[in-house]
A and B are shown apart, each in its own frame.
Chain A
Amino acid sequence: MADYSIYVLEYCYVPKYHKSGVLYGAHNEGYVKLPYCYVLIRSKDHVALVDVGYNDKDYGKFLGDKFGVENWRSPKVVLAELGLTPEDVDTVFITHAHFDHFGNVEDFPNATFYIQRDEIEKWVWAMSLPERLRWMMIAVDPGDILRGVNLAAQGRLNVVEGSLEDVLPGVDVHLARDSHTFGSMWVTVRNDGKADSQDTWVLAGDLVYQFTNLKNDGSVVGVDTMYTPVGLAVGSQMNLLLATEEMMKQAGYDDTRVIPIHEEGLADRFPSRITKENLRISEICLADGTSSVVA
């Protein structure tokens, strides 16, 4: 029995991204494509997203010109491929406050949002520090924090402290403190609804960028494979690895059930298609009685 269908929806991409940004220590190993995506979790009762991307009108041209971000499409266009509109989304899990995950809340007028308190509190602390400690403030748009105020004023923002079970039936959130960011969060879907689920999917946010973070060549330390953290940690690589272990444990140590959203290779592992906008939809799983949207 599966309650939810899960899809990874690409909304833009960087064609050439330093591999060392994806995989800690992978210096001078060239470039990889870095898709930007959000995850759709859909049941007969709910339409939820993990992250909301960014709004191109705010900084799109700058990103395109300076950093090579290409082919941005709005949630309206991206969700239309599944017969949905942004207004259909009732729940949004914000894995962390970087602009490319938290930068488009206004496009979802009917959604209730979830974010970790640590993420907000420590960003506010970091914003108080001097310029030379600015590295801790990277990729956060103060405008997004302000838009969070709007959500709170409308009663649509839930600030979570640590793990929270059954935010939606069978959908849990977990805190990875001081890892990729101060209060990164991952989302676990127990698709059979059971506490000791045998059908668990872990939506990793940016705690894992690509498959290699879960299974990298470990010959340098005499093992077949090992976890290797992503290239960016405001907290520590250790905390990233410990979060990876937690996620893998939840997934029964089946690395195919921990879903990294910046992974182009999802298309090789899951049924996928390229839309007319040249963006990828990967179908991670289907709820009972649901037809494929990529076939």
Chain B
Amino acid sequence: MNNSAVRNGDGKLHEAGCGVWDVPDASDVEFIIDAGFGDEAIAGYLAHARPVYDTLNRVLAQLSGVLLLAMTSGKSDLALDHDVYRIALERLSEAHERQRALKAPASAARHHAVLADIVVRLEAAAKDMDALSAILGRDAREAHMRKIIIKLHGAQRLLVATAQPDANITPVDFSHACCTCSVSGKTSSEKII
């Protein structure tokens, strides 16, 4: 492995937002058809929806994580880790663009609409988080925090509702978890979303 691909001149790992990590996406329509989604239009939609879903899922994790770290830092101003927060915002903006560009067949219109709703909720939560450190007074800050948590929970519930595990659209990557003895992922009945 060429260390220069992942480390800078000081030998430190590149920041997560650094351009060295960028590569094009790949889609996997055939895999999704094999998993039981016989309709090519749906399979094509899911193949392109997956990176959008994954990004939204990770933005949720990033925002939650940044919030969690701020809340447990012991600092009273709840200052966010701005590097991670900025990356989350960039990814969210990117996911928004890709979600808008997704072409959904009629049978996937609801799924597509829910993805849009997740984007809206995450954007609203992120905006509220940005304002957090400027809010004075413990009670006001706690009330503001509750609003953020409600929005993040709304997004998380929708992520669970739009999961399609057999198309690898899932909030959790189980591929190397303690449970991965892979009984069988295939099924013969055609799936719908």
Contact = CB atoms under 8 A, between A and B. Distances in A.
A142 B58 CA distance: 7
A82 interface: no
Given A120-B65, A127-B58, A232-B178, A146 B153 contact: yes
A283 B111 CA distance: 48
Given A66-B183, A128-B87, A148-B68, A142 B174 contact: no
Contact of A124 (B65, B71, B156, B160): B65
A159 interface: yes
Nearest to B142: A153
From DSSP, what is the main secondary structure of chain B's interface residues? Answer: helix
B183 A65 contact: yes
Contacts of B72: 117, 120, 152, 157-159
A123 B173 contact: no
Looking at chain A's contact residues, the main secondary structure is helix
A125 B69 CA distance: 12
Given A127-B61, A146-B152, A149-B152, A120 B178 contact: no
Given A100-B178, A141-B171, A67 B183 contact: yes
Interface of A: 14, 16-18, 21, 31, 34, 36, 58-59, 62-63, 65-69, 98-100, 117, 120-121, 123-125, 127-135, 137-143, 145-146, 148-150, 152-153, 157-159, 206, 232, 262
Given A62-B170, A128-B87, A159-B72, A138 B179 contact: no
Top 6 closest A-B pairs, CB basis? A124-B65, A128-B16, A142-B61, A139-B177, A68-B183, A159-B72
Contacts of B156: 142-143, 146
Interface in B141-193: 142, 145-146, 149, 152-153, 156, 159-160, 165, 170-185
A134 B171 CA distance: 12
A16 B181 CA distance: 7
Given A18-B181, A141-B172, A131 B54 contact: yes
A138 B149 CA distance: 24
Contact of B61 (A100, A124, A133): A124
B174 A138 contact: yes
Contact of B69 (A14, A69, A120, A138): A120
